[in-house]
Structure 1
Amino acid sequence: MIKNYGLNSEHKLVVVEEFRDFSFVFQSSRGEIGVISKKFDFPFDYLGGILDDYENARFESDKNGNTLLLLQFAASVENGEVQTFPFALVTTAADKVIFSLNHEVHLNDEVVQRSYNPKKFKHEIAHQIISVMTKDFANYLANFKKRRAVIEKSISKSTQNDQLLEMIRMQASLVYIQEALDNNLQVLKKYIDVLKEQGDDGFAESVFDLYIDTEQAKKEARMQARLIENLRDLFSNIVANNLNIVMKIMTSATFVLGIPAVVFGFYGINVPIPGQSFSWIVWIIIGMTLIVCGVVSWVLRKKDMM
């Protein structure tokens, strides 16, 4: 899918039929990407890179004056897990901007509905897109923090695998996020250096702000990963301890309940025994058995064995 935008008289983006100031290329085929690449005369892999979910982040420019900024963004997949995928931001020699990716993302009001300075359009929209993608990392990390808090509240009584599976999903997501943020940092650093060489110091400062946000997100992701790892260790210890407590209670209960079984089994043997001629002997047996069970239970609880 290719969606084209142009700046109107109010300097806002509106949908147009032909290629104008900005194009959004989403889940396009190799044929569509080939048409765009040929039209603007830049290498196929500038946009073709988004077809590979494992494409590394990079910054490139060609002899025709086209530049590629390929970064990674976070997206939710199944079961609450988060993975990272590439997106391409191509600025053509004619200052047209092409934004391409292969996984769903919403171009919200921060990108589409705001006003742009026509003279600085290519820089402003690039900044807005990178900013939105960077904020998504922060939003997912904030969500992980909430999910971790929920696990911490319920973990003390847990003997099931639900919390463990949730932590495994979060840990896998954080691995993807840390790797993506690290790659993005390297590319943004290179991009800033190129902008300074070209004399775009003003835009370089704006990109540097995004670099700082990305670096902060990376630190947060690293801290979250450590906390999740510690929580998994704590979870394993708590589950083992809870199981030990259950086994201790079951063993003690089995021991106590075994006392009446022994007594009643003795008086159930098919031979003459003392007191069998008295009709009330059964109540004495039951009473003495209950007393013995009570004493044994008290001793076990006093020794913290029950």
Structure 2
Amino acid sequence: MITKHIIEGKRNSFTWFDVCDITDEDKNNLIENHELNPRHIAYATDKHERARYDQQENIEILIYNLPVKKNVDTNNFVLEPITFLVKKNTVFTFRSKFLDLDTAKTIAKATHLDASIKTLILTILYQVTICFQDAIDNLNLTRDRYLNNLKHKISNQNLIQLSNVERSLVYIASGIKTNLLVLENITENQSSQELSQTEKKLLHNISIEAHQAEQTVEIALEVTERISATSNNLLNNNLNDVMRFLTVWSLVLTIPTIITGFYGMNVVLPFAKGSIAWVNITFATIIMIIILVIFFKIRRFF
């Protein structure tokens, strides 16, 4: 779906085409009516395209990563690009429906600051960059909730959920790093004369938020990795305790099995005759079991 916005500024006016979940009909419309190159549209609609800033022919291309939560139940985040194509006095944005962009609020803020294409783009980038911090906070809350469950019982489901949090943090960390490279590239390519004071301030604020998100996600990822490692150690320790318990009691219960096996054979054995032979055999078995249990206690096998 393509939504057209005409933005009137103090210095000039421009047109913004917001393309959400592009269709084949939208592609044909952009190629025929707006003379966009199919190759540029392919860049804009490729979900695996890396974040970058580039100038090709008479078009500026800006691809920026954003965190997207596609499944509310699992609370997993992935990266999706938002792409800007700037051609003369027209800007095209390509995004998916998962980026909830309040266009009216965005236009109002960009107009209030300094209605220009760069101001609009930087305003949107600022909103997207803040989304990274919100996603990190969301994952931290999810991780803490799983941590409370791990205190009571370690289950495979909790470990899988913790692994999903860790994977989402890795995606977010990668997206932030590439976004920072894009911001540095924009700063290098845009001279001080090309950017107004408002645009410089917006770009500076975006860089601050991106660096802050980078530090936050590094801490969150390190904490999650430590918790995951500790959980695995606890799980291995519990397994060792179970195996030790089974080994010790299997040895203890081997004694009556061996003794009753001997006395079940048709051979002459001591204490096998008499009316209370079974009492003597049972008493001797219990004594041997007690001795073995005391030995294991001294050796701290359990």
Task: Identify the TM-score tier after normalising by the shorter chain.
Answer: 0.7 to 0.9
Q: Is residue 277 of structure 1 aligned with residue 263 of structure 2?
A: no
Question: What SS does the aligned partner of 1:224 have?
Answer: helix
Residue 30 (structure 2) aligned to one of 31, 36, 48: 36
TM-align CA RMSD: 3.5
Residue 187 (structure 1) aligned to one of 162, 171, 182: 182
Percent of residue pairs bearing the same amino acid type: 18
Distance in 2 between residues matched to 1:207 and 1:301, nearest whole Å: 69
CA 1:283 to 1:252, structure 2 compared with 1: closer, same or farther past 3 Å? same
Residue 294 (structure 2) aligned to one of 275, 291, 298: 298
Say if 2:7 and 2:107, in contact at 8 Å, map to a contact too. no
Residue 72 (structure 1) aligned to one of 65, 76, 79: 65
Matched ranges for 1:250-261 at <5 A: 250-261=246-257
Residue 19 (structure 2) aligned to one of 20, 25, 28: 25
Q: Is residue 49 of structure 1 aligned with residue 47 of structure 2?
A: no
Distance in 2 between residues matched to 1:298 and 1:121, nearest whole Å: 85
Distance in 1 between residues matched to 2:133 and 2:79, nearest whole Å: 13
Counterpart residue number, 2:11: none
CA 1:235 to 1:62, structure 2 compared with 1: closer, same or farther past 3 Å? same
TM-score by length of 1: 0.77
Runs of 5+ unmatched residues, structure 1: 9-19
Question: What SS does the aligned partner of 2:3 have?
Answer: strand
Say if 2:106 and 2:120, in contact at 8 Å, map to a contact too. no
Say if 1:158 and 1:239, in contact at 8 Å, map to a contact too. no
Amino acid across the alignment from 1:68: I
Counterpart residue number, 1:15: none
Distance in 2 between residues matched to 1:299 and 1:204, nearest whole Å: 77
Deviation at 1:28, TM superposition (A): 1.0
CA 1:61 to 1:275, structure 2 compared with 1: closer, same or farther past 3 Å? closer
Deviation at 1:209, TM superposition (A): 0.6
Amino acid across the alignment from 1:264: T
Counterpart residue number, 2:239: 243
Say if 1:192 and 1:204, in contact at 8 Å, map to a contact too. no
Residue 100 (structure 1) aligned to one of 73, 78, 94: 94
Q: Mean Cα displacement is larger for which, 81-90 or 203-212?
A: 81-90
Runs of 5+ unmatched residues, structure 2: 9-13
CA 1:74 to 1:156, structure 2 compared with 1: closer, same or farther past 3 Å? same
Counterpart residue number, 1:196: 192
CA 1:201 to 1:62, structure 2 compared with 1: closer, same or farther past 3 Å? farther
